[in-house]
């Protein structure tokens, strides 16, 4: 479902117009402590990647600012729910495929859907492996070969792409803790530094409290 914003009463209208005219986007990168998350997923023999995707999508779906977009009529609004669209790398071809999975707030359900999609489409080395992606998807991916300190993805679409772009990096050990770079890119028309910080901080909180959701059914 797509909810149209009443622009006449929207508190952010002036900010939206200002930053839309500037076509202003920005990105932030932070290191997320995944020490406990990595330990718990390994003990359960679970893959880390779907857990990272789940955390990003869960926070995105908790705040309408991260679900802002235009519908097919060019009307501004926000999606009721967004599903993650993520990349799967094909080592032999050195190419990736886009796959999307229906999001669920229950991690076990999402994990099983992810694993099934990986089986069904993970060996299809083409750009859109699953095909027919819904309109309400958001991009989230990983660059597992580099522990970067910054990342920016430039999209030339007249400045109309409003959804956040979430990119994970290669995790690394520092002292007794494990960290992973997280880059969040947003459009300033709908998100400020407060919102991007909120996304990063809430993802960190989910990683810290992973025992609360890893086994919950």
Residues labelled catalytic: 188
d(CA 163, CA 154): 13
Residue with tokens 């999001």, as numbered in its chain: 103
User: Of 213, 202, 152, 146, nearest to 32 (Cα)?
Assistant: 202
Q: In this structure, are residues 150 and 30 in contact, taking their beta carbons and an 8 Å threshold? A: no
Helix (H, G, I), strand (E, B) or coil at 66: helix
Judged on CB neighbours under 10 Å (0-12, 13-18, 19+), 74 is exposed
Across the chain, the runs of DSSP E, i.e. the strands, are 2-4, 25-33, 68-70, 76-79, 83-90, 95-100, 137-142, 165-168, 172-174, 177-187
User: Of 23, 94, 84, nearest to 55 (Cα)?
Assistant: 84
């Amino acid at each position: 479902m797509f909810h149209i914003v009443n622009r006449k009463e929207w508190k952010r209208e002036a900010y939206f117009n200002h930053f839309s005219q500037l076509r202003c986007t920005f990105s932030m990168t932070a290191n997320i402590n995944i020490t406990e998350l990595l330990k718990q997923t390994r003990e359960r023999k679970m893959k880390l990647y779907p857990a990272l995707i789940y955390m990003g999508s869960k926070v995105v779906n908790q705040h309408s600012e991260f679900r802002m977009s235009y519908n097919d009529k060019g009307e501004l609004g926000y999606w009721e729910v967004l599903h993650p669209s993520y990349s799967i790398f094909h080592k032999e071809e050195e190419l990736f495929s886009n796959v999307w999975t229906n999001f669920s707030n229950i991690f076990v359900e999402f994990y099983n859907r992810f694993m099934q999609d990986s089986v069904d489409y993970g060996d299809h080395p083409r750009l859109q492996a699953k095909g027919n992606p819904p309109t309400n998807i958001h991009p989230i991916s990983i660059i597992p070969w580099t522990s970067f300190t910054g990342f920016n993805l430039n999209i030339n679409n007249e400045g109309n792409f409003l959804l956040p772009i979430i990119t994970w990096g290669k995790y690394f050990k520092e002292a007794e803790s494990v960290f992973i770079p997280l880059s969040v890119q947003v459009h300033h028309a709908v998100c400020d530094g407060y919102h991007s910080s909120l996304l990063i901080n809430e993802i960190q909180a989910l990683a810290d409290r992973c025992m609360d959701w890893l086994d919950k059914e």
